Amino acid sequence: IASSKSLTNAFLNQNSNASPDVIQEVCSPCGQRRKFAVEFEFLSKVGEGSFGDVLCARHKLDGQCYAIKKIRKPGMSPHSIMNALREVHVLSSLPPHLNILSYKSAWLEDACSSVYIQTEKLDSLLISSSEHIRRFVVDIASALRYLHASNLTHMDVKPSNVLVRKCAQRDSFDYVLIDFGLARKSDASLKEDTEGDARYLCPLRMELSCAEYVMYNKAEKLCAIDIFALGVSAVELALKLVAERVETESDGLEVSKFLKSCKQQILSKALNESKSKFLY
């Protein structure tokens, strides 16, 4: 049996120096396949972004529906493909967790210009009560605690990166953290300044480069960035929820005072990196 190369998962192997040579092997003519068209039935497009599209598709053998993230960048170099596979390496390195997206498989197509990532199919974010906001914070804090304990930082926590997994058996649901395309080791020596949505970044990170921030905040590494983003997300969801229920101008003024107080309490804790475990 001929031996074959495989990528070393940098998030599993602390001393990984894996080269993208295996990409060349997978992208050779004999390594090309049409897995999506052959094995899946396309149902709908459920999301899109600068990276590409998220598709809903049914697997023809097991009959289950999955989310298929298609990252398409024509002419991607092996190095670019390795960057696109960062999410795959993070998700596959983590044991299952209730509040973290469940990874299934990944593959390359279209002359290696497309990366496909198969994950569980989830539902849209549901926030219709203060109890939902509390659950949102508790569930995503649990996901972050698990990530941080695994020496990983998400780097892009925000409401649009949270979906819902419904459980018919217990008539409830869980909030699930998704999109690990920017995730990295919490203590990594960063060579790039890739970051998430600037609207959710803590002020100190806005002032410093990633490398400078890590040096300044060695105690909590990059974890505080996730905690602050979760605090901002909670405030944003609360504001949207209340705005939908305000009927009069006087109601709005009272609510504004209340939210200002809540915002100061939540963000003051999230801003204090020395207390970045307050949600755990």
Query: What confidence score (pLDDT) does residue 78 get?
Result: 74
DSSP state for residue 28 in the 8-state scheme: S
**Residues that constitute the known binding site:** 70
The structural domains of the chain, with segments of one domain joined by +, span: 21-120, 130-275
Residue ranges of the annotated binding site for ATP are 70
Find the range with the poorest average confidence among 104-113, 177-186, 200-209. 200-209
Active site residue 156: yes
Q: How far is CA 136 from the centre of its chain?
A: 15
Instruction: Return the structure tokens found at 234.
Output: 């909670």
pLDDT of residue 278: 44
Which of 216, 240, 217 is closest to 158 using CA atoms? 240
Average pLDDT of the chain is 78
Catalytic residue from among 53, 62, 139, 156:
156
Place of tokens 């890739």: 194
| pLDDT tens-place string over residues 24-41 | 666 655 555 689 999 999
Using the predicted structure, report yes or no on whether residue 173 has a pLDDT greater than 60. Answer: yes
Q: What is the pTM of this model?
A: 0.79
Q: Please tell me the number of Cα atoms within 13 Å of 180 on its side-chain side.
A: 27
pLDDT tens digits for range 7-21: 566 655 544 444 556
Domain 130-275 class, CATH top level: mainly alpha
**Please, what is the Cα angle at 99 between 18 and 271, to 5 degrees?**
85
- Name the CATH superfamily for 21-120: Phosphorylase Kinase; domain 1 (3.30.200.20)
Q: How far apart are alpha carbons 52 and 191 in whole angstroms?
A: 25
